[in-house]
Amino acid sequence: MSIVGSRTALAKGQVWPGTVQEAHVTTQGPLTTEAGAPVAANQNSETAGVGGPVLVQDQLLLEKLAHFNRERIPERVVHARGAGAYGTFTVTADVTPYTRAAFLSEIGKQTEVFLRFSTVAGNLGAADAVRDPRGFALKFYTEEGNYDLVGNNTPVFFIKDAIKFPDFIHTQKRDPYTGSTEADNVWDFWSLSPESTHQVTWLFGDRGIPASYRHMDGFGSHTFQWSNAAGEAFWVKYHFKTDQGIKNLTSAEAARLAGEDPDSHQRDLREAIERGEYPSWTVGVQIMPVAEAATYRFNPFDLTKVWPHADYPVVEIGRLELNRNPENIFAEVEQSIFSPAHFVPGIGPSPDKMLQGRLFAYGDAHRYRVGINADHLPVNRPHATVARTNSRDGYLYDGRHGGAKNYEPNSFGGPFQTDRPLWSATAVSGATGNHPAPVHAEDDDFVQAGNLYRLMSEDEKERLIANLAGFIAKVSRDDIVERAIDNFRRADGDYGKRLEVAVQALRG
């Protein structure tokens, strides 16, 4: 079957148009300044005589030092530590009854992608092998614009409303007084936020420390909307099942690896691709008809819950493969940006309150961190189409629009609106206010955490209890310890009892 779509298969050595490789400059020939003037001497700065003071007129020296001082941009507040690679997404099933997205329009269609993996809480210099969720941020360079799917390696998260996100992350980062990560802060927040019990059970279980980025699953985590050509809408959840198999590290293995090779995950991904062992994931979706959401037994837009596969089976739709490493980590990984607000026709948001907050927060973070023209960088700009906007100027604007008019509508052949929304409208009603999410018949913060615990083998339960107890035992206040254990007790009696015994043994 021939491959059609926004990209055709590339021969080895070819590059996608518009990428960093295409913009390469030669490194052969005389060394020059940033302005292109040849450099006469690069080993000694210019001085006033032998042994004299350095001269301000040595512009090469000043240029090099000034550039060096600015070689780093602010690291991401979350997901700072990461690695990435390019690849392809290939459609393997007909999903046109559910979405009109062009990159999903035909079996065999192939789209270029860039995937950035990351840890969540660690800073840029942190180790890879730590107990932390892993970011799974995927950019599809489609012919209708870039589509970003920003998820994790877990199908759920700690909280269900974005207004709590800054508070949550503050507990994971360094305390403003001690300068260290504090168990008191972490467990105080988690114990006061019972909705976190499900994700905490995931995090401290066997899958809490993946052995590599290649050996873990990915999830869109949020609920999204698909809409077809007829305007019918569906709610979907994305699943990326690793074809390499799941592999994890124990706490002891991770501690050793983090000390011996802090870059273990990044190195593993890069070297696997260099060897031609291209990692891949089988991509599937769960699909819920919009009409079923209102009466589903729990809130289907709650990020702390999964949709049981018995209710909505995962349907395979494609295959994701990573087959090309970035050539410059800073340009292509550190400066890469992802935003869940980057949708394409046929895909849109849901009322998920965490997703709604992220629609603003991610873009705003990139505008601060990388700059207002971050979308112009090769890794971020569309590769299969051209962005046509009226945005001009700002830091590092390159004048790409020439003298074109910068307003719409205009009478000079400028870009125009399509009058066709990207996604279908969602019905709303009621008064404005700081409302909690609608309550469904079986909404509960503990049921799914208990279900997950009961699915574990006895060995898995023992490791989970040991991991949790080791961390909770570091908490200084008895009331926080008791409140934390009580959340797990409410998820499952045996879960809470065993945890209480283990914590008491460690605390004496």
> Concatenated DSSP letters for 399-426?
-TTTT---SSS-SSS-----S--SS---
Catalytic residue among 24, 67, 152, 401: 152
**Residue 337 contacts residue 482 (beta carbons within 8 Å):** no
CA–CA separation, 137 and 79 (whole Å): 10
Catalytic residue among 79, 222, 342, 383: 79
> Which residue is it, tokens 């991991």?
467
**Residue 218 contacts residue 151 (beta carbons within 8 Å):** yes
Helices (H) and strands (E) in the chain, counts: 13, 10
Q: Which alpha helices (H) appear in 106-179, and where do they start and end?
A: 165-172
**Residue 133 contacts residue 154 (beta carbons within 8 Å):** yes
152 is catalytic: yes
Report angle CA 467, 468, 469 to the nearest 5 degrees. Answer: 95
Structure token pair of residue 409: 């509508």
Q: Is 350 exposed, middle or buried (0-12, 13-18, 19+ CB in 10 A)?
A: buried
Report angle CA 366, 368, 371 to the nearest 5 degrees. Answer: 75
Q: What 3-state class would DSSP assign to 163?
A: helix
CA distances from 387 to 21, 34, 146, 413 (A): 20, 28, 10, 15
What phi-psi label fits residue 189: left (phi over 0), alpha (psi between -120 and 50 degrees) or beta?
A: alpha
CA distances from 437 to 103, 196, 341 (A): 33, 16, 21
> Which residue is it, tokens 């995962």?
314
Structure token pair of residue 385: 């189409």
248 is catalytic: no
CA–CA separation, 206 and 202 (whole Å): 8
Catalytic residue ranges: 79, 152
